[in-house]
Chain A
Amino acid sequence: MDDSPAPDGPRTFSRIGQRSPNIRSFDAVTGRTRYTDDLSFPGMLHAKLLRSPHAHARIVSIDATDALAMPGVHAVITGKDMPVRYGVIPWTQDEYPLALDKALFVGDPVACVAAVDEAIATRAAAAIRVVYEVLPHITEPEAALEPGAPKLHESNKHGNITKSVQLTFGDLDAQMAASDAVAEGHYFFEGMTHGALEPHCAIGLWEPHGVLTVWSATQVAHYLHRELSRVLDLPYDRVRVIQPPVGGAFGAKSEPFALEFCVGKLAMLTGRPVKLLYTREEVFYAHRGRHPMKMHFRVGAKADGTLTGCDAKTLIDGGAYASFGLVTTYYSGQLVTAPLRLGAYRLDSTRVYTNKPACGPKRGHGSVQPRFAFEVTLDKLAEKLGLDPIELRRRNVLDVGERTINEFLIKSIGFRECLDRVEAASGWKQKHGKLPLGRGVGVAGSFYISGTNYPIYPNEMPQSAVQIKVDRSGRVTVFSGLSEMGQGADTMLAMITSEELGVDLAAIRVLSGDTDLSPVDLGGYSSRTTMMAGNACLHAARQLSTSIRAVVAEKWACAPKHVALAGGYATERQDTSRRMSLGEAFRLAEAKLGALGAMGSYNTPKDVHGDYRGGTIGASPAYSFTAHIAEVTVDLETGVPRVETIWAAHDAGKPLNPMIVEGQMEGSAYMGFAEAILEEHVIRPDGLHRGPSLLDYRMPTSLDTPDLYSMLVETADPEGPFGAKEAGEGPLHSSIPAIANAIYDAVGVRIDALPFSPDKILRALRAKGAA
């Protein structure tokens, strides 16, 4: 959608492509940012949830008499107060704000208290008497499929199955039969959680004229808006959701949670503002982290390295509720089909319910796990073929304009250059297979979507809209429903606006995440923000630019295309001595046109997906590509792995702000490394979380973190704003298999189950006779 006003030659940029600090960073690092929990209102009550201590139990009765009698307690609500099922995916709504009949995991909320302070609310919650009938529970996904297994959701037509997807593309059996080598593996990806610094928090405010405002640390204000209206039975136009700055989310806050409904309901019941802040332990129970997956992958190739077929079977452990599970099930199969060309592909993915905290989307939703399995299988295949693993990948890279085997259209791809860059930077050729025992390098590649092509609830409306207001002060205000959560989304809007209107970043205010103030954006998930809100912003900014340039051109009696807005001035391109400050230009335009503003919107192209049931899930306007090389050392006596260095090259199209793109790449590589080596979200057989704290859920410290090198590979994507694609999730995927492959290069053992902990490595070394 390039209608760039530059009259001749290639577009040059003044702001886009510049390294520019996140406009929110200074406040964040100096403690000035006001997060949801920093907000307070006169008369505000504090709420606390009572949670089930049982993994699976029928709620026989709830008696809140003692709690309600405690001084300072204002209200207690239970499932019966909000008996409406919700869920982010309209087809799989299976969750009540508070458990209605049954609690489905240890930590499932069953009641909520509002009191004058948090301590009283905590004591009152403990005074609520719940009688449970304990039921048999399931913590292993295989058990969920057994005949006679306890059933979590009685109304589910498919037993304990959330979703099962079988798709075949091409003639898999023929392709496998024609292969010269086939590699395979059984892989296990343990559950992982997000570990965002800010716990979930929400405040409800009910105003007598019948408007409910909910402040929430959410990354999907729009979906929350819809669900609050539905569950609390309020007209859609009487609910306002405000998303204050969010202290990290990574997918953890991409759907509604108990706390938002509870503060809304309690505010309506008590007439007081009500706040609920999760403890760290409760964040582990809210979870929605990466699904544990058990995967069997087979990949074949011809002797020359041409990939023939891939056969993938995956069992997904969903936890107690569906969450995004329908999408997860598709993603687990649909998102391994690039950057490499496959002759045929079969996927068979099944997600089941278990009595554990519900899994959902974590950075690289659904596809990080199969990417690990696929890339490690490729490494095994390269060895069988006697090919360098980079060379094997190079021989199969998809081309621009090609469709993947599952019919997704690739409009730009810089994967070859990603491979070249990491190969050169890491010294791969001198290292792979050549380092001393205990030291090795591994490579992996990946791709990811720049937003999901279709919204979560079917509709024809734009995916994102942005409004820009300009006034006589020279200030430009950008209104967007997007979710700033530390990733730099507001900065992205400011930079695009600055580029188009020529105003300094300091003169731009971005007001995002308020459903009353800003036009709709579907939220901060699926790496959609730059693609969708960015394009909407560009659309709005260009309309304004056109209007303002026309007014200035009229004054100067020149063609509008000869008026440039840049560097704080309107300038005549052919006579640069003619210029006026932008403030002056805005005043001129305001006098001529009246109020200055524009609305822009973006919707996705409808010709990029697959023509089969499910072929829209995983389709995106554009795809990013990544290659990682990891160098690791392994202590042969203790099995302790140390990731020394990760080189990452990423094709984010045109990087709008290389500083932020590199930050996303480093953060992604770190998060992948953390999952590879240390983190694991384990639920014990009795249903208890093994250690719901940041002491026991071990995220690496700066001392543990490898050296990270980020390299940007630039492509011009025809769909992205200025050619930009996503950078927030793609660069995580290949981090993990690169480390797995490096461990193999170092010590010759395959660890096919995450995390690659020292006990597993030492056991494998001993089995091999190497330690």
Chain B
Amino acid sequence: MLPLPDFEWLAPTTLADLVRALGEHPTDTLLLAGGTDLLPNLKHGLHAPKRVIGLRRVRELSLIEESADGGLTLGSGVTLDTLANDARILARYPALARAASLVASPQLRRMGTLGGNLCLDTRCAYINQTAFWRGALGGCLKRDGDVCHVVPQGKRCVAAFSADTPAPLITYDATVELVSVRGARTLPVAKLFGGDGVKNHVREADEVLTRVTLPAPARGLRSAYEKLRARQAIDFPLLSIAAALTVGDDEVVTDIRLVVGALGALPRVVRKLEAHVGKPVSPELFDELARAAHTQCHPLSSLGAEAWRQDVVAPMVKRTLAALRASTRE
């Protein structure tokens, strides 16, 4: 089998110990939560850390706390399986529960965590291969080379944003907390990601993502998540779509959020939807939103079948909108 590289293994039990250990050699250290993304990447030689810190024994990271107004704060160590099945999440944030339920397979969801999914590395046909394969290719922008095989003249890595949970979190205006020996900071999930596939999140090497805070769902919030993939399990998205509409009692839309993943390195927040605010929920509105997404979303060859994926943006958006579910209190 493919061997793991040699590294020092630490498994702290408190957040304080974790942050301290991480602060010692941050640029040579990697964090391992469920390991479902990191271990294959280590075996493929994509990283060569001196130290790997396991997060599973830090109990503070797996808590779910409720705020008085009905919001939730989720520890980054909460598993995807819990996210998919927790009654509060299913009721208040159904698109998040659905996104978590569509990740990989039951076994991987029981290991994989919310924080791990938020920090999932970008993916590309030219990078998620063994060291032997990449060596035969001659490397690429992201590792061991200076050429992008997806965008031949490109200067920035366009490896695809492939996580499922961030898109619905963005539509819910969720925030994340990052903690380091230097202190803590909070930023919107939408600001967690940068536009370069080499390192597509703004987390500094000495920071650990500790928790995600979801504001109480607005009255009239309806949300959904759909994922295009080749098989009904296992696969990363070929397209992922999160939608959230806030709808008044008169069925008139007061807010629209549409986020599409599995394009370039960033989740794409579909823009200029304000013009549709004030319209009633209707198949015509869904058609218009689907057209807007089709115009703004451009799948790349990083995941293959890009022309077909472009063709199905609109039907996928319409299906997502048709599946909108109201947030409730359980």
What is the interface of chain A, defined by CB distance below 8 A to chain B? 51, 53-54, 106, 118-119, 122, 277, 279, 281, 637-639, 678, 686-693, 695-696, 698, 700-701, 703-704, 757-759, 762-763
Contact = CB atoms under 8 A, between A and B. Distances in A.
Interface in B98-142: 105, 125, 128-130, 132-133, 135-137
A53 B125 contact: no
Contact of B308 (A118, A691, A759): A759
Contacts of B307: 759
A279 B232 contact: no
B65 interface: no
Given A118-B3, A637-B315, A759-B307, A703 B233 contact: yes
B173 interface: no
Contacts of A279: 1-2, 130
A53 B136 contact: yes
Given A54-B136, A277-B1, A281-B132, A639 B308 contact: yes
Nearest to A691: B125
Contacts of A696: 125
Given A118-B1, A119-B3, A691-B125, A703 B311 contact: no
Nearest to B135: A53
Contacts of A639: 308, 312
A701 B234 contact: yes
A40 to B, nearest CB: 15
B60 interface: no
A593 to B, nearest CB: 52
15 contacts: A53-B135, A106-B136, A279-B1, A279-B2, A279-B130, A638-B228, A638-B311, A638-B316, A678-B230, A692-B130, A692-B133, A700-B231, A701-B231, A762-B308, A762-B311
A758 B230 CA distance: 9
Contacts of B105: 701
B13 to A, nearest CB: 29
Nearest to B4: A119
Nearest to A117: B3
A119 to B, nearest CB: 4
B287 interface: no
Given A688-B136, A762-B308, 11 more contacts: A118-B1, A279-B130, A281-B133, A638-B312, A638-B316, A686-B137, A691-B129, A698-B235, A701-B233, A759-B305, A763-B308
Q: Is the interface of A mostly helix, strand, loop or mixed?
A: loop
Given A638-B312, A701-B231, A704-B232, A690 B305 contact: no
B231 A758 contact: no
B136 A678 contact: no
A678 B130 CA distance: 23
A698 B308 CA distance: 18
Contacts of B305: 757, 759
Contacts of A700: 231
Between B233, B235, B311, the greatest number of chain A beta carbons within 10 A of the residue's beta carbon is seen for B311
Given A698-B235, A762-B308, A51 B132 contact: yes
A706 B269 CA distance: 37
Interface string B228-248: 101111110000000000000
A757 B130 CA distance: 26
Contacts of A758: 308, 312
Minimum-distance CB pairs A-B, first 7: A759-B308, A703-B232, A53-B136, A637-B315, A119-B3, A701-B233, A638-B312
A761 to B, nearest CB: 10
A762 B307 CA distance: 11
B235 A688 contact: no
B89 to A, nearest CB: 23
A638 to B, nearest CB: 5
A637 B130 CA distance: 36
B209 to A, nearest CB: 25
Interface in B294-314: 305, 307-308, 311-312
Interface of B: 1-3, 105, 125, 128-130, 132-133, 135-137, 228, 230-235, 305, 307-308, 311-312, 315-316
Contact of B3 (A51, A122, A691): A122
Contacts of A686: 137
Contacts of B125: 690-691, 696
A119 B4 CA distance: 8
A285 to B, nearest CB: 10
Given A637-B312, A637-B315, A638-B315, A688 B133 contact: yes
Contacts of B1: 118, 277, 279
A118 B43 CA distance: 13
A758 B128 CA distance: 24
A54 B2 CA distance: 21
A376 B104 CA distance: 36
Most buried by B among A106, A692, A759: A759
Contacts of B311: 638, 762
A763 B307 CA distance: 10
A162 B231 CA distance: 37
A480 B312 CA distance: 55
A269 B304 CA distance: 47
Contacts of A688: 133, 136-137
A763 B310 CA distance: 12
Contacts of B235: 695, 698
Contacts of B129: 691-693
A279 B137 CA distance: 19
A762 B305 CA distance: 12
B268 to A, nearest CB: 20
A279 B130 CA distance: 11
A131 to B, nearest CB: 16
Nearest to A278: B1
B4 to A, nearest CB: 8
B9 to A, nearest CB: 16
A206 B311 CA distance: 60
Nearest to B125: A691
Tell me which of B1, B2, B136, B315 has the highest count of chain A C-beta atoms within 10 A of its own C-beta.
B136
Nearest to A698: B230
Contacts of B133: 281, 688-689, 692
A701 B232 contact: yes
A119 B231 CA distance: 34
A49 to B, nearest CB: 10
Contact of B132 (A53, A118, A637): A53
A637 B314 CA distance: 9
Given A51-B132, A759-B308, A762-B311, A698 B137 contact: no
Contacts of A678: 230-231
Nearest to B312: A638
A122 B130 CA distance: 13
Contacts of B232: 701, 703-704
A119 B132 CA distance: 15
Nearest to B233: A701
Contacts of A693: 129
Contacts of A759: 305, 307-308
A759 B130 CA distance: 28
A54 B128 CA distance: 19
Contacts of B132: 51, 53, 281
B229 to A, nearest CB: 9
Contacts of B2: 279, 281
B158 to A, nearest CB: 18
Contacts of B315: 637-638
A279 B45 CA distance: 15
A118 B130 CA distance: 16
A678 B305 CA distance: 13
A704 B305 CA distance: 20
A621 to B, nearest CB: 40
Nearest to B309: A759
Nearest to A119: B3
B259 to A, nearest CB: 20
A433 B316 CA distance: 29
B151 to A, nearest CB: 17
Contacts of B234: 695, 701
A758 B312 CA distance: 10
